[in-house]
Amino acid sequence: MTEEIKPNKTKAAKAGGTQVQSLSRALLLLECLAASDMGMSLTEVATSLGLAPSTTHRLLNSLRSHGFVDVDDTQGLWSIGVSAFAVGNAYLKKRDVIAQSRPFMKRLVADTGETSNLAILEQDRVVYVGQVESPQTMRMVVSLGSSSPLYASGVGKALLSVVPEKEAMALIQQTDMVAFTEHTITDADQFAAELRHVQQQGYALDDEEQFEGLRCIAANIYNEYGEAVAAISISGPAVRVKQERLAHLSQLVMEAAQEVTQAIAGKAPKR
What per-residue confidence (pLDDT) applies to 17? 61
- According to CATH, where is 1.10.10.10 located in the chain? 9-80
Residue-level length of the chain: 271
**pLDDT (tens digit, 9 = 90+) per residue, 114-162?**
999 999 998 888 999 899 988 887 777 787 878 889 899 999 999 999 9
**Are the CB atoms for 126 and 145 separated by under 8 Å?**
no
Task: Please indicate, yes or no, whether the overall pTM of this predicted structure exceeds 0.75.
Answer: no
Compute the distance between CA of residue 212 and CA of residue 261 in angstroms, rounded to an integer.
31
**pLDDT (tens digit, 9 = 90+) per residue, 67-124?**
999 999 889 999 998 888 778 766 656 668 888 999 999 999 999 999 999 999 988 8
- According to CATH, where is 3.30.450.40 located in the chain? 90-263
Compute the distance between CA of residue 167 and CA of residue 174 in angstroms, rounded to an integer.
11
* pLDDT score of 219 more than 70: yes
Secondary structure E strands in the chain: 69-72, 77-80, 115-122, 125-132, 147-149, 204-207, 214-222, 228-237
**Are the CB atoms for 217 and 250 separated by under 8 Å?**
yes
> Structurally, what CATH architecture does the domain formed by 9-80 represent?
Orthogonal Bundle (1.10)
Compute the distance between CA of residue 199 and CA of residue 61 in angstroms, rounded to an integer.
46
**CA torsion 56→58→62→63, rounded to 10°?**
10
**Are the CB atoms for 253 and 233 separated by under 8 Å?**
yes
Compute the distance between CA of residue 118 and CA of residue 128 in angstroms, rounded to an integer.
6
What number is the average pLDDT over the span 224-249?
Answer: 92
Q: What is the 3-state secondary structure (H, E, C) of 16-36?
A: HHHHHHHHHHHHHHHHHHHCC
What per-residue confidence (pLDDT) applies to 215? 93
Distances (CA, A) of 219 to 40, 64, 118, 228, 250: 47, 40, 10, 10, 8
Compute the distance between CA of residue 269 and CA of residue 271 in angstroms, rounded to an integer.
6
**Are the CB atoms for 130 and 118 separated by under 8 Å?**
yes
Q: From the centroid of its chain, how far is CA 182?
A: 29
Distances (CA, A) of 220 to 1, 114, 256: 60, 18, 10
Topology annotation, domain 90-263: Beta-Lactamase (3.30.450)
Compute the distance between CA of residue 108 and CA of residue 125 in angstroms, rounded to an integer.
24
What per-residue confidence (pLDDT) applies to 57? 94
